[in-house]
Amino acid sequence: MTTLAVDAATAAEEAAVVDTLMLAFASDPATRWTWPDPSAYLRAFPRFARAFGGAAFAHGSAFRLGTAGAALWLPPGIGPDDQAMMALMQATASPESMIDGMQVMQQMASCHPHEPHWYLPLIGVDPAWQGKGVGSRLMKHATNLFDRDGALAYLESSNPRNIPLYQRHGFEILGHIQAGSSPTITPMLRKPR
């Protein structure tokens, strides 16, 4: 692992990246609130990942560290496929999460910066590699690019355990997103250094 470099995932590697992310998000509070049933989660997550961050593959901003971890960054002006996400949520999300989930998604949309910015829909590390610096290497790779280009970066943390990682890489908490029974989502912004 120490000799592997972070590199851009190709379209041919998309399925492997999505598999890594699916393992990483298997215990994520917001994702499992949406799909508490394991079978529903396993069926829905690959489509969710592609709708939420799949555009990163076409823009060369889907980064991976072997099969240990991956990050899908969307460049300024590129967003998630909102229509595909909405259709997927309506078809697969738990009934308990649907009403509150729509409010959460609206709050998420309202927190995005108005200035051009990079957006991180998904970053994840295979549980077998968690705690070994994979997430930090993925974040450092991206933030070095943003600093070089003087670019803002934005994310929403769906897991409170990850907030210290993002803070170590320069992200600051903007507030909190929560509706009804939903877990708390934490929007975070990073200014270039």
Asked whether residue 23 is domain-assigned, the answer is yes
- Give pLDDT, residue 2: 55
42 inside domain:
yes
CB 6 within 8 A of CB 139: no
- Tell me the pLDDT of the chain averaged across its residues: 95
- Given this model, what pLDDT does residue 64 score? 97
Q: What is the number of domains present in the chain? A: 1
Residue 1 maps to a domain: no
- Vertex 171 angle, CA 140 and 74, to 5°: 65
C-beta separation of 124 from 25 below 8 A = yes
For 33-66, the pLDDT digits (tens) are 999 999 999 999 999 999 999 999 999 999 999 9
Q: Could you tell me which residues are beta bridge partners of residue 119? A: 74, 154
20 with 69: CB under 8 angstroms? yes
The residue among 63 and 94 whose pLDDT is bigger is 63
Which residue bears the tokens 């298997």? 26
* Domain containing residue 16: 7-190
In a domain, 120, yes or no: yes
pLDDT for the residue numbered 96: 80
pLDDT confidence of residue 1: 53
- CATH number for the domain including 42? 3.40.630.30
- Is 38 inside any structural domain? yes
In a domain, 2, yes or no: no
Residue 158's CB: how many other CB atoms inside 10 A?
Answer: 23
Q: pLDDT-derived band of residue 157, with 50, 70 and 90 as boundaries?
A: very high
The answer to the question of residue 127 being in a domain is yes
Q: Give the predicted TM-score (pTM) of the model.
A: 0.95
Per-residue model confidence (pLDDT) at position 4 = 77
